[in-house]
Amino acid sequence: MSRLIALLLCVLAAMASAEARVRRYKWDVKYEFKSPDCYKKLVITINGRSPGPAILAQQGDTVVVEVTNGLETENLAIHWHGIRQIGSPWSDGTGGVTQCPILPGDTFTYRFIVDRAGTYLYHAHYGMQREAGLYGSIRVSPPDGVAEPFAYDYDKSIILNDWYHRSTYEQAAGLSSIPFGWVGEPQSLLIQGKGKFNCSKLAAPTLDPSACNATNPECSPYVLTVIPGKTYRLRISSATALSALGFQIEGHNMTIVEADGHYVEPIVAQNLFIYSGETYSVLIKIDQQPSRNYWITTNIVGRNATATTPPGLAVLNYYPNHPKRVPPTSPPTGPMWNDVAPRLAQSSAIKARHGYVHTPPLKSDRVIVFLNTQNKIDGYFRWSVNNVSFTLPRTPYLIALQENLHHAFDQQPPPDNPPNFTNYDIYHVANNTNATSRNAIYRLKFNSTVDIILQNANTMTANNSETHPWHLHGHDFWVLGYGTGKFDADNDSKKYNLANPIMKNTVPVHPYGWTALRFVADNPGVWLFHCHVESHFYMGMGVVFEEGVEKLGKLPSEIMGCGETRGFKRP
């Protein structure tokens, strides 16, 4: 009898899941005092949590998130990072691009379909709010009956982040001041929202003893309890404001199997390099000596944070050892921060998994070269792309284009090529005094194939070039190649990988290097493409693409109400 009931339940479950479901979430966003690294500060929480609640869905489901902005004095917008928003560009959550921000006290409903299984993120996309703590993970499972090309027993998500004690207001004001106030290296690194700042570093006499409390349970290390003999899928994502990271699990190799929602030809790695906005799945076997626990570590690469930011630590707890038992060893030190070669090698090694290759169009219709430079404009430090430093308009582009508001932004398109690129020396500090701040956009022919070459260069400091993780909204792109030095249009394009390139939504451009991407402009909407370093985007490191907006029907009035659309919002 009980067997019959079990069978019946199975059948009912199968019937229910065959239909795409609606996953509803109700989120209250507000400021609360939290101590994720023992230091107490104001943190933006969702339903009292940072990182926020994970979104769990199945391919084809509709996700509906009703967001209430309880920040009192601050606007808000939330971006669903890696979700292409096909047919719902107004739900992309980019303030100033696809919507007016959500006003304090208002409720806004995001509604979108998760159309591909994989690991994604969500985070704030207004001002520098992301680094105040509004971020979380999205996990989309494959449809029923569709097997994944690898096996595992358990599935866990781990979000990495870097953490600052100063408020985002202080940081933003510093970035837009003369003299310039740089945000500096983070105070700590968080693994699944937990880190450890050394409270003794604070000046004791001025310190309220509860303001940094090393025994606060909020900052006890994250513990991942595992069962010996099992295989775990760890979904690792990075929401960092600035840092590129190495990630390691002491004594355990990781097999990389997924990146940004696409299956990867398996790669065994001791260290995973992960850039802000990227997501990976790795498999680990719980096959080491079981009588002890092991360290999980993350450390900064690409910037010299040796004196400022200690590595982030968590514990891999082999059941049934006590979760609080400290591993008997020192944590692994991680890769050298200034060694670019292994980072470039790992980026280049990631290829689409055999049997899951989406082949790119063999030719492109348009090639756009984006030279990334640091420069000054009227004495202010900025980042620019082809001598244009991006600024957001008051009226979101999506609405301005749909409603023909020609004065809402600069109608003169920015250049497809850096001015005088042939003579540009990427190894020297350039005299880019003539860069300008603009809000112009690139308009792409609908359904055309576009190549993007990201070209890195020297910053305004001699012998220095940084790492920039570029993230494209509304699309996945093929990663055709990486190189060092100056991109050579004739020779380098002949070496593109057109056979099995991985598709991603976020990709690093390495110091003094280039990265070549291809995508098809087939998603009607307006899409931001920007450096995912929070302060770099704030300082102008981004561009906007428009494609096929004329194909969109009426826009929801909920996204309106700011700039020139003030009168458009109907009650």
Ligand X SMILES: *[C@@H]1O[C@H](CO)[C@@H](O)[C@H](O)[C@H]1NC(C)=O
Residues whose CB is less than 8 angstroms from the CB of residue 330 and which lie 6 or more positions away in sequence, other chains included = none
Give whichever of 430 and 533 is closer to Cu ion, judged by the CB atom: 533
Closer to Cu ion by Cβ: residue 377 or 560: 377
Closest CB to ligand X among residues 320, 361? 361
Nearer to ligand X, 151 or 462 (CB): 462
Choose from Cu ion, ligand X, none: what does 553 bind? Cβ within 5-8 Å by kind: none
Interface pick for ligand X out of 210, 333, 411, 484 (rule CB under 6 A) = 210
Q: Which stretch binds Cu ion (CB under 5 A): 175-183, 343-351, 397-405, 462-470?
A: 462-470
Q: How far is the CB of 486 from Cu ion (least distance, A)?
A: 19
**Strands 78-81, 118-124: parallel, antiparallel or unpaired by DSSP?**
antiparallel
* DSSP category for residue 39: B
- In the DSSP assignment, the letter for residue 325 is P
**Nearer to ligand X among residue 493 and residue 500 (C-beta):** 493
Count of residues of this chain found to bind ligand X when the rule CB under 6 A is applied: 38
Buried b vs exposed e over 177-206: b needs ≥16 C-beta within 10 Å?
eeeebebebbbbbbbbbbbbbebeeeeeee
198 binds ligand X (CB under 6 A): yes
Nearer to ligand X (CB atom), residue 364 or residue 432: 432
The nearest distance, CB 405 to ligand X, in angstroms, is 27
- The span from the CA of 467 to the CA of 244, in Å, is 8
Tell me the window of 43-51, 159-167, 198-206, 555-563 that interacts with ligand X (CB under 6 A). 198-206
Using the contact rule CB under 6 A, the part of the chain among 138-146, 300-308, 320-328, 473-481 near ligand X is: 300-308
Give residues 272-291 in contact with ligand X (rule: CB under 6 A): none
515's contact among ligand X, Cu ion, none, with CB below 5 to 8 A by partner kind, is: none
| 2 interacts with ligand X by CB under 6 A | no
418 contacts ligand X (rule: CB under 6 A): yes
* Residue 536 contact, options Cu ion, ligand X, none, Cβ 5-8 Å cut-off depending on partner type: Cu ion
Q: Which entry of Cu ion, ligand X, none binds 533, CB below 5 to 8 A by partner kind?
A: Cu ion
Beta-carbon contacts of residue 504 (< 8 Å; ≥ 6 apart) = 259, 260, 262, 278, 476, 477, 479
Query: Should residue 215 be labelled a site residue for ligand X when binding is judged by CB under 6 A?
Result: yes
Q: Answer yes or no whether residue 299 interacts with ligand X by CB under 6 A.
A: no
Identity at 421, one-letter amino acid code: F
Which one among 145, 179, 205, 209 touches ligand X, defined by CB under 6 A? 209
- Backbone φ and ψ for 353, nearest 5 degrees, come out as -70, 140
In the complex, the smallest distance separating the C-beta of residue 199 from ligand X, rounded to whole angstroms, is 8
Sheet holding 118-124, edge to edge: 55-58, 135-141, 118-124, 78-81
Q: Residue 533, interface with Cu ion (CB under 5 A)?
A: yes
Question: Please, what's the largest Cα pairwise distance for the chain?
Answer: 82
| Segment interacting with ligand X, rule: CB under 6 A, options 47-55, 59-67, 68-76, 417-425 | 417-425
Residue 355 burial by Cβ neighbours in a 10 Å radius (0-12, 13-18, 19+): exposed
From Cu ion, ligand X, none, interface partner of 333 (C-beta below 5 to 8 A by class): none
Binding partner of 468, given Cu ion, ligand X, none, CB within 5-8 angstroms per partner class: Cu ion
Binding Cu ion (rule: CB under 5 A), the pick from 139, 468, 473, 504 is 468
* Residue 330 binds ligand X (CB under 6 A): no
DSSP classification of residue 553: -
Q: How many residues bind Cu ion (CB under 5 A)?
A: 4
Q: Distances in Å between the alpha carbon of 155 and those of 103, 140, 255, 376, 504?
A: 37, 12, 14, 47, 21
Q: What is the DSSP string of 82-117?
A: T---TT-GGGS--BTTTBPPBPTT-EEEEEEE--S-
CA distances from 471 to 81, 306, 351 (A): 9, 27, 18
- What is the distance between the alpha carbons of residues 180 and 176, in angstroms, rounded to a whole number? 7
Least distance from C-beta 418 to ligand X, angstroms? 4
The dihedral built from the CA positions of residue 6, 11, 15 and 17, taken in this order, carries a sign that is: positive
Which of the stretches 161-169, 418-426, 466-474, 530-538 binds ligand X when contact is defined by CB under 6 A?
Answer: 418-426
- Of 407 and 445, the one with the shorter C-beta distance to ligand X is 445
CA–CA dist 301, 280 (Å, integer)? 17
Which residue in the set 98, 387, 439, 565 belongs to the binding site for ligand X (CB under 6 A)? 387
Q: Which is nearer to Cu ion, 224 or 509 (CB)?
A: 509
Question: Of these, 257, 392, 430, 562, which contacts ligand X (CB under 6 A)?
Answer: 430
Of 201, 363, 406, 570, the one binding ligand X (CB under 6 A) is 201
CA dihedral (89, 94, 96, 101) in degrees, to 10, reads: 100
User: What are residue 337's phi and psi, to 5 degrees?
Assistant: -65, -30
- Under a CB-based contact definition with an 8 Å cutoff, are residues 362 and 498 in contact? yes
- Using CB under 5 A, pick the residue from 254, 453, 531, 559 that binds Cu ion: 531
Contact (CB, 8 A) for 60 and 115: yes
Neighbours of 328 (CB within 10 A): 9
**Whose Cβ is closer to ligand X: residue 170's or residue 218's?**
218
Contact set with ligand X (CB under 6 A): 198, 200-201, 209-210, 213, 215-217, 251-253, 268, 270, 304, 306-307, 338, 371, 373, 387, 418-420, 423-424, 430-435, 447, 462-463, 488, 490-491
